[in-house]
Amino acid sequence: MSKRTWPDKQATDRLEETTAPAVSVGSVEETVVRPDSLERAQASVAAVDVEQTRASVSADLERTRVSIAPADVERTTASIPAGGEAQLPERTLGRYLIIKQLGAGGMGAVFKAYDPDLDRKVAIKLLHGAAVGEARTRLIREAQAMARLSHPNVVPVFDVGAHREDQVFIAMDLVEGTDLRAWIATRRPWTEVVDVFAQAGAGLAAAHAVGLVHRDFKPDNVLLSTDAATGKLRAQVADFGLARRDEEREAAPRPAESGSVSALDTQITRYGAIVGTPAYMSPEQHAGVAVDPRTDQFSFCVALFEALYGKRPFTGATIEELARKARSSQREPPARGSDVPGWLYRLCLRGLQPDREARYPRMDALLHDLQAGRARRQRRVLALGGTLLAAAVAGGTAWAMTGPGVCEGGAARVGEVWHAGRRAAVEAAFTASGLPYAAGAWAGAAALVDRYAEDWKNMYEETCSATQVRGEQSAELMDLRMACLQHRLQDLGALVDLLEHADKQVVKRASEAVVALPGLQRCADVEALRGGASRPSADPARSEALRERLRAGRAKVSAGKAKDALAELTTLATEAAALDDPSLTAATRLALARAQRESGDDQSARVSAAAAVWQAVADRDDETLWDALMQEMFVLGYKLGRKADAQPWSDHAEALLRRRGQPDRERAQWLHQVGMIEIAAGESAAAEAPLQEAIELYEKVHGVDHPRLANLINSLGASKLRGGSYDEARALFERAVAIVEKSHGPTHPELAQPLNNLALSLERQNRYPEAIAAMQRSRAILVAINPQDPMVGLLRQNIGGMLQLSGKPDEALVELAAAQAHLEEALGAEHPALAGVFTFIGDARRDLADYPGARAAYQRGCEIREKALGADHPELGLCLLGQAQVDLLERRPADALEHVDRALKNVADATSDPGDLGLMHLARAQALRATGAEAEAVTAARAAREALTRAGAAGQRGIQQLDAWEAGR
């Protein structure tokens, strides 16, 4: 038996691998090559006789044999990961003549060598440990890919080969100079740091462009030399020995060891394990999952932060601690008095986001901001030169106007709208309503207003500081952001005005009204602010007057007083269109659509929302466009159940999402609507994935106990309930109940929906007393507030159904008769909600052997649903099943087969409750046998048993009927 569920009331807005065992090392960071540059080597070779060069090489080789002391060898092998063994080459390595060892570390040893074929000196890296089979092929393939990469900020790779058949070596350019680690050991001006890192970043970007990810970017792997042509410092990224193609995947990872061994700089390089230096590794590297170019971006920003501030953004003594801090969003603040501009700190923070999606999309984008900030600084310095004298004469007035104090007025500004006096007035209005849940409603709404006000203050001060203090934002952009914030503050003021004079309806919807306030995110969206309507109103004073009325109207709709606002918003839409204000017309049409929808006029709502869509497209108003698209999806797809008609609007919204970079908040709203449309179409299984993702995104944006989550969780629970996952459904409904109780109090009417659905999940597990108790609590909450509420009738309907299932058909009929009378008075005799009542009346009369009465009730239920939903809708399944069951009881198997076949056809493409589906197959088996189709009856009986078994406790009664029927053949 399926009862009425409320899926949602719809708020109106909306490390590549695993860690190898850590090894104690003598030198905690890998030694990096510092050879000559290719240009120097070539110039040197050209200047001397070949024989003379070879003699020099021979002398170098002789010196090498006596210069490598046992202690040096021990120090080299001490950093080899477990399972690898350093095998020093003899005089030759392939065609190369070894001159001397330059260094060694966790990955391998580096040698200076001579290439007799090309008559030049090179650096050769011999990787530690045996590399055979797939590992050897992989390393060679990656080195070959690097050999095809030519960029001035990447150390060129010339060749790759094997030593003793199982050790891979890489031949590369010999760069004379130092490395970035040594360079930043001396504090440098931030401008010099930016210049050097911009070069290193360009090298990474070049590698990313050919599909390579470095995976071990750190200061040691950036070589610095003096460019012979320009005399300037040149940075080159080296040591791509860990690099791999972006699209490739590695072998299955092994779990990380998190012992107390110091892991700050340990080089982890074993194949099939986490790869990288833990102090610079991204969360995805620590987690052992696939990497991409944004992984290098994280490491780059760790190194940049370290170079700018003399410390890393997070530290730890063990790999486990480093991994935990990398996953956290907490980063070290700059030291007080640092001269590094704030925009550089924020650039680093973006690149250091634990979630890759929150970082820059590409290295190129990060470099663009790095260079743009540097250019802004240069322009300000030039401008300052012309005003220095005037500033000195002014005696510091310029500093007083642009210093931090000028941006500390956010609290005062928002305090004009939300202050202690207004809080007291709002609380008094809530108390005066006399509602039993007024205290809980006030507490929930006040917390949400406090949060909105605090967020507004913070954004105001940040917007001001970006221009007036840090000079990283133009005055034009500050003006756009401040105008947006001013509109948001006026929206808050309009809502507080309404709350200050709250009646019962406003108290009930107070939290929803605050949640529905226009979000502050758009005031930080540069693209949206600059891309909006630019044509000014012909009559600005008139436009502002209309906006003030619009704010009041929207607040009323959000607070549940849509009918009160409908006439005013209709007039406003007409006046805005006549005024021809491009930034106002779409907004008034959208507000009107919301009012029409909340007033029950869905057809008018979809027309108004469509008009808002096209006006917003014309005005380039993405914010209104988005909200209007959500309106169309909800009204057409969910309320009217027209999935196909809603699809173009959904596609439009998805395209807008892609263009806007898939912001979490908007994607969650879209997924929510997609899931609800699937539920309305009877496809609950298809709804689960979008609803689950929407919940995760909302938790990320709003937190795990935000009021908006209750509806989503309730919706997912309804989907699980329909699909037969009763335990999961019960857990979801219990969570929804807990969220509503926390945000609204224990007697708020918002509890009715999740309590009703919790009762249904308990009923499916044959826990009838608990189910009826939950339903009665829900009913008591609503009756105490409004005895005429239609939901009271729906609750009485479900209580009646549970009484029937628990073997009390007489008591059930009393409740069902009361439910019928209540719903007919509240909604009218033809409302689809009545169909469920008649189906349950049929069940009770069937149990009392009143077959004519049962048939009439089932037929009436089917008639109402067919008129509202169409003849093929899945919701007709149960009333058709009821008619088939009465047909069988009255020995009319042919009629029973016709009814049950139609029921099965209707639910064929929907996610049906397995218990209901099992009863349909059982009725079909009985009808087939009675008509002589024995083989088909056996097949139907098998399908019935499978579905009823899947239903768990809810299918036990059906299985007992099936067993008895089969035993009586």
User: Which CATH number fits the domain that encloses residue 804?
Assistant: 1.25.40.10
Rounded Cα distance, 728 and 737, in Å: 14
Judge whether 862 lies within some domain. yes
Rounded Cα distance, 364 and 367, in Å: 5
Q: Which of 120, 153, 172 is the last residue of a domain?
A: 172
Tokens of 562: 């849509």
* Residues of the chain under the 70 pLDDT cut: 1-90, 105-107, 128-146, 148, 164-166, 228-229, 240-276, 375-406, 531-538, 582, 911, 969
Using the Cα atoms of residue 854, residue 855, residue 858 and residue 861 in order, give the sign of their dihedral.
negative
Say what the pLDDT of residue 535 is.
Answer: 54
Judge whether 366 lies within some domain. yes
Residue from 301, 271, 325 nearest 137 by CA = 271
- Please provide the DSSP assignment of 94-111 as one string: TTEEEEEEEEE-SSEEEE
Considering the domain architecture, whether residues 124 and 200 belong to the same structural domain is answered as no
Considering the domain architecture, whether residues 110 and 207 belong to the same structural domain is answered as no
Residues across the chain: 969
Rounded Cα distance, 743 and 452, in Å: 15
Rounded Cα distance, 843 and 824, in Å: 20
Considering the domain architecture, whether residues 95 and 225 belong to the same structural domain is answered as no
Say what the pLDDT of residue 145 is.
Answer: 63
Considering the domain architecture, whether residues 907 and 759 belong to the same structural domain is answered as yes
The residues annotated with a catalytic role in the active site are: 216
Rounded Cα distance, 452 and 283, in Å: 31
Say what the pLDDT of residue 304 is.
Answer: 97
- We report the CATH number of the domain holding residue 345 as 1.10.510.10
Q: By residue range, what is the domain housing residue 66?
A: 38-172
Considering the domain architecture, whether residues 240 and 145 belong to the same structural domain is answered as no
- Please provide the DSSP assignment of 12-27 as one string: S----SPPPPP---SS
Say what the pLDDT of residue 398 is.
Answer: 26
pLDDT, tens digit (0-9, with 9 covering 90-100), for 407-457: 778 888 899 899 999 999 999 999 999 998 899 999 989 999 999 999 999
For 167, the 3-state DSSP assignment is strand
Q: Which of 155, 172, 189 is the last residue of a domain?
A: 172
Tokens of 340: 């590094």
Give the number of other CB atoms < 10 A from CB of residue 124: 29
Give the number of other CB atoms < 10 A from CB of residue 452: 22
Number of domains comprising the chain: 3
Amino acid at 394: A
Q: Report the chain's terminal Cα–Cα distance, integer Å.
A: 26
Judge whether 697 lies within some domain. no
pLDDT, tens digit (0-9, with 9 covering 90-100), for 485-496: 998 999 999 999
Considering the domain architecture, whether residues 225 and 330 belong to the same structural domain is answered as yes
Considering the domain architecture, whether residues 825 and 943 belong to the same structural domain is answered as yes
Rounded Cα distance, 916 and 923, in Å: 11
Amino acid at 182: A
CA 774 and chain centroid, separation: 34
Considering the domain architecture, whether residues 108 and 187 belong to the same structural domain is answered as no
Say what the pLDDT of residue 317 is.
Answer: 84
Judge whether 598 lies within some domain. no
CB 174 within 8 A of CB 35: yes
Judge whether 686 lies within some domain. no
Residue 311 among known ligand-binding residues: no
**pTM of full prediction above 0.95:** no
Rounded Cα distance, 64 and 149, in Å: 32
Judge whether 845 lies within some domain. yes
- We report the CATH number of the domain holding residue 65 as 3.30.200.20
Considering the domain architecture, whether residues 781 and 763 belong to the same structural domain is answered as yes
Q: Which of 139, 172, 205 is the last residue of a domain?
A: 172
Which contacts of 189-196 are long-range, i.e. CB under 8 A and separated by 24 or more positions?
Answer: 190/308, 190/339, 190/340, 190/341, 190/344, 191/374, 191/377, 193/304, 193/307, 193/308, 194/344, 194/370, 194/373, 194/374, 195/233, 195/374, 196/222, 196/224, 196/233, 196/235, 196/307
Judge whether 459 lies within some domain. no
For 193, the 3-state DSSP assignment is helix
Considering the domain architecture, whether residues 149 and 184 belong to the same structural domain is answered as no
Alpha carbon dihedral 645, 648, 649, 655, in 10-degree steps, equals: 160
Judge whether 316 lies within some domain. yes
Rounded Cα distance, 710 and 754, in Å: 8
Considering the domain architecture, whether residues 288 and 271 belong to the same structural domain is answered as yes
Considering the domain architecture, whether residues 151 and 245 belong to the same structural domain is answered as no
